[in-house]
Structure 1
Amino acid sequence: MRDAFLHGTVHEAQEDLQVALRSDREALARWESLTPLGRNEFICWVDDARQVATRQRRIVRTREALLEGKRRPCCWAGCIHRTDKAPSRWQQAVLIDGKTPRSAS
């Protein structure tokens, strides 16, 4: 078994996420099949949790999503920490500025 854990393009998985994925051979194999950007999205989503309970739920959900064949977290606007791409208008308004975007009418 390899010791190296594959991380994302910007974020590194913390120990709790690594332990959860390493404890399930199939989940780990699917994690390793993701692109660095795909892994980055899951890590950012997990790290974005403000409460420990939410973080733990997201770690469980990450494992489940991988086993379901998902390659990105559901309902996640995407990592705003990447420097290779500007945040989308929605990310800028909601995640960065904290405003609710107006619907286009």
Structure 2
Amino acid sequence: MTEAFLHGTVHEARADMQAAITADPAALALWQALTPLGRNEFICWVDDARQDKTRARRIVRTVEELHEGKKRPCCWAGCIHRTDKAPSKWQQAVLIDKKAK
């Protein structure tokens, strides 16, 4: 019996992301070893893509970054959907309120 695919604290990985990670046994082991918060950050980053091609590119990059030992996506400000902590001032202004500098 295969182990259930582990998701994040707020987000659940969609089928395309699950398929890419489970297709690579080493990446799957690395994914399952991440904390729920780490998985959540990768899922939110992938889900944040506006275009399908960007989403696909981020899924590929997720697998690559797992192999590189990354615990969170590179250059990602963090999930703004978490309920356990308030967004930072920058996240609130730029990502939520969409205020320009």
Q: Give me the TM-score of the superposition, normalised by structure 2.
A: 0.97
How many angstroms does 1:3 deviate by?
A: 4.4
Match of 2:81 in 1: 81
Separation of aligned partners in 1, 2:42 and 2:96:
19
CA distance in structure 2 between the partners assigned to 1:70 and 1:45 by the alignment: 14
CA distance in 1, matches of 2:94, 2:100: 6
**Structure 1 unpaired stretches of 5+:** none
Report deviation, 1:100. Answer: 3.1
CA drift of 1:99 comes to 1.3
2: CA distance, partners of 1:68 / 1:100: 33
Q: C-alpha distance in 1, partners of 2:3/2:70? A: 24
1:76: how far off?
Answer: 0.5
Match of 2:8 in 1: 8
How far apart, in 2, do the equivalents of 1:3 and 1:52 lie? Answer: 28
RMSD (Å), alpha carbons: 0.9
Following the alignment from structure 1 to structure 2, what is the Cα–Cα distance between the partners of residues 76 and 21?
Answer: 20
Please give the TM-score of this superposition, normalised by the length of structure 1. Answer: 0.93
Deviating above 6 A after TM superposition, structure 1's stretches of 4 or more consecutive aligned residues are none
Whole-angstrom distance in 1 between the partners of 2:2 and 2:36? 18
> Could you tell me how far apart the structure 1 residues matched to 2:90 and 2:20 are?
31
Count residues in correspondence. 101
Identify unmatched segments of 5+ residues in structure 2: none
What is the match of residue 54 of structure 1? 54
Letter in 2 for 1:36: P
